[in-house]
Amino acid sequence: AQKITQTQPGMFVQEKEAVTLDCTYDTSDPSYGLFWYKQPSSGEMIFLIYQGSYDQQNATEGRYSLNFQKARKSANLVISASQLGDSAMYFCAMREHRGGADGLTFGKGTHLIIQP
Amino acid sequence: DGGITQSPKYLFRKEGQNVTLSCEQNLNHDAMYWYRQDPGQGLRLIYYSQIVNDFQKGDIAEGYSVSREKKESFPLTVTSAQKNPTAFYLCASNDGQETQYFGPGTRLLVL
């Protein structure tokens, strides 16, 4: 079974509109972290936002916010006031607590295209 | 400037050849990671190292080897045992907090 599921392979959004990118996850570990990364066509992975499983508040970083619904195992990324430069691949990822600095498990990504 | 560098940007491998991808960081991070990305897919973990002279297999370690002789460096060797090496390889590091930071990547192509 997939641990990270991103159900939207691609999205087209008008500039200045808000965007929600879906992510659901599967883990039995009570301690975990959820991440969103942006990958432009150049290939680099840019960290956007982090949510810990015990965090009470939803994470926010500038125009990015994470809609964390723990009971539903959902961690959707919301981008407010989208810009042309937001066009990229977006990946949701999870770190499970396996005792130390373990690697991330990634979803397959959503290709977001912002239209003028 | 602090950051993670990977070289080369593009690498070509002949059949039966071993090739080594470089990853260097000057962030003073203890943990380093190697991921593989295939077209249209997310990243998959190959190896990671939490400290010098120690490393652990990730989800797809077969056909790869690593070393961690210095804190700053974590090279990845793609051996001839890796039958499908064509991919985009990304190195990352972590400062002991939650977030992993990535290098610019190396694209490996088989001739």
Q: Does the pLDDT value for residue B52 go beyond 90? A: yes
B57 pLDDT band, cuts 50/70/90, is: very high
- Residue B83's pLDDT is 87
Average pLDDT over residues B21-48: 94
pLDDT band of B98, cuts 50, 70, 90: confident
Residue B40: pLDDT band by 50, 70, 90 thresholds?
confident
Q: With contacts defined as CB-CB under 8 Å, which chain A residues touch B94?
A: 101
Interface of B with A in 50-69 (CB under 8 A): 50, 58-59
DSSP per position, A77-111 = EEESS--GGG-EEEEEEEEE-SSSSPPPEE---EE
Percentage with pLDDT > 70 across chain B: 98
User: Chain A residue closest to B56 (CA)?
Assistant: A102
> What pLDDT was estimated at residue B1?
62
Q: Which residues of B touch A42 (CB under 8 A)?
A: 104
Closest Cα in chain B to A9 = B40
DSSP B8: -
Query: What residue in B sits closest to A6 (Cα-Cα)?
Result: B42
Q: Is A104 exposed, middle or buried (CB count within 10 Å of its CB: 0-12, 13-18, 19+)?
A: buried
Q: Which of A45, A50, A91 is closest, CB to CB, to B98?
A: A50
Residues of chain A with pLDDT under 50: none
Minimal-distance CA residue of chain A relative to B87: A43
Select from B40, B42, B58 the Cβ nearest to the Cβ of A103.
B58
In the three-class reduction of DSSP (H, G, I as helix; E, B as strand; rest coil), residue B20 is classed as: strand
Tell me what pLDDT residue A1 has: 64
d(CA B45, CA B35): 4
Interface with A, mutate which of B23, B27, B37, B90 (most A CBs under 10 A): B37
Strands (E), B38-94: 43-51, 54-57, 64-66, 76-78, 87-94
